[in-house]
Amino acid sequence: MSDGLPCLNCKKPTPESDAKVFAEVFVCSICYEMADRLFHRLEGELRRLLLLTKETIRVALIEGKLHFEHTQEREVPKDELLRMILQFSEKKDREADARRSGS
């Protein structure tokens, strides 16, 4: 019992000094590191996606292309928005590629 409770992820006995809690899950410090790193990476990607979402809407507004037919509905048409974001990000990628190969 002196070894402590097992980490829920890797099952390794974890002494109290090495114990961590990630999102209310009891884990060892190694698994915590792993979870924390993954969380921050995904968080970064989501933040980028959020910026891209804003930029997509901005461009759509400038080009006068923001014509959701569901603006009266409470649900945002996510698939439509996602489609626009993907198109926009692909366009940006293509532009970046063109710049790279051009220079």
Residue 5 as a binder of Zn ion (CB under 5 A): the answer is: no
CB of 10 to Zn ion, least distance (A): 3
Residue 9 as a binder of Zn ion (CB under 5 A): the answer is: yes
Answer whether 61's CB lies under 8 Å from 93's CB.
no
Residue 7 as a binder of Zn ion (CB under 5 A): the answer is: yes
Q: What element of type H or E holds 34?
A: helix 29-62
Answer whether 13's CB lies under 8 Å from 4's CB.
yes
Residue 84 as a binder of Zn ion (CB under 5 A): the answer is: no
Residue 89 as a binder of Zn ion (CB under 5 A): the answer is: no
DSSP one-letter code for 27? E
The correct pick among 6, 16, 26, 28 for binding Zn ion (CB under 5 A) is: 28
CB of 20 to Zn ion, least distance (A): 9
Residue 10 as a binder of Zn ion (CB under 5 A): the answer is: yes
Q: How far apart (Å, rounded) are the C-alpha atoms in residues 101 and 99? A: 6
